[in-house]
């Protein structure tokens, strides 16, 4: 279709005026609070906490990974039952130690944080 073939059509006086049926469906109401609270924490302590949680999860995986062969060795009476048990105990102790350190870091993180309030009164939509 070319531009020459397009025609402009004027509405006639006999055409009924019909309101847009979808105007109510697209009403959007946005409620913005006057203030938004933001919790500020020490980034170094947060990094230490995340690292300790990561290391604890690795030790937990190693503990459960050695626990299954330990149980199988004890059930079958194999010669590796005691070494597997020792490794499982070492990894379990390391897991508990890193988990306790992570919990201490989290306590320090919560105690050292402060809350600021961001005002949103100047927001323009």
pLDDT tens digit string along 20-42?
A: 777 667 777 777 788 888 888 88
Q: Is residue 2 part of a domain?
A: no
Pairing of strands 35-40, 114-119: antiparallel
Note the pTM of the prediction, 2 decimals: 0.64
64, 84 contact by CB (below 8 A): no
Q: Determine the Cα–Cα distance for residues 101 and 52; give it in Å rounded to an integer.
A: 7
Paired strand residues for 115: 39
Q: Is residue 70 part of a domain?
A: yes
Q: Is residue 5 part of a domain?
A: no
Q: Is residue 104 part of a domain?
A: yes
- Give per-residue burial for 55-94: e unless 16+ CB within 10 Å, then b: bbeebbebbeebbebbeebeeeeeeebeebbebbeebbeb
Q: Is residue 69 part of a domain?
A: yes
Q: Residue 48: what pLDDT? A: 93
Per-residue pLDDT, averaged over 68-82, amounts to 92
Give the pLDDT band of residue 122 (cuts 50, 70, 90). low
Q: Is residue 71 part of a domain?
A: yes
Which residue range(s) make up the domain with 73?
37-114
Q: Look at the chain and report how many structural domains it folds into.
A: 1
């Amino acid at each position: 279709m070319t531009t020459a073939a397009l025609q402009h059509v004027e509405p006639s006086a006999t055409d009924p005026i019909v309101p847009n049926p979808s105007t109510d469906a697209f009403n959007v109401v946005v409620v913005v609070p006057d203030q938004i609270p933001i919790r500020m924490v020490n980034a170094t302590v947060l990094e230490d906490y995340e690292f300790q949680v990561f290391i604890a999860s690795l030790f937990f995986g190693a503990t459960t990974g050695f626990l299954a062969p330990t149980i199988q060795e004890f059930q079958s009476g194999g010669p590796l039952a005691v070494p597997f048990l020792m490794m499982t105990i070492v990894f379990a102790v390391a897991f508990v130690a890193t988990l306790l350190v992570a919990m201490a870091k989290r306590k320090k993180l919560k105690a050292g944080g402060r809350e600021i309030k961001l005002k949103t009164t100047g927001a323009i939509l």
